Chains A and B, each alone.
Chain A
Amino acid sequence: EVQLVESGGGLVQPGGSLRLSCAATGFTFSSYWMAWVRQAPGKGLEWVANIKQDGSEMYHVGSGRGRFTISRDNAKNSLYLQVNSLRAEDTAMYYCARVNLGIYFEYWGQGTPVTVSS
Chain B
Amino acid sequence: ETGVTQTPRHLVMGMTNKKSLKCEQHLGHNAMYWYKQSAKKPLELMFVYNFKEQTENNSVPSRFSPECPNSSHLFLHLHTLQPEDSALYLCASSQDLSSGGNTQYFGPGTRLTVL
Q: Do A and B share a complex?
A: no
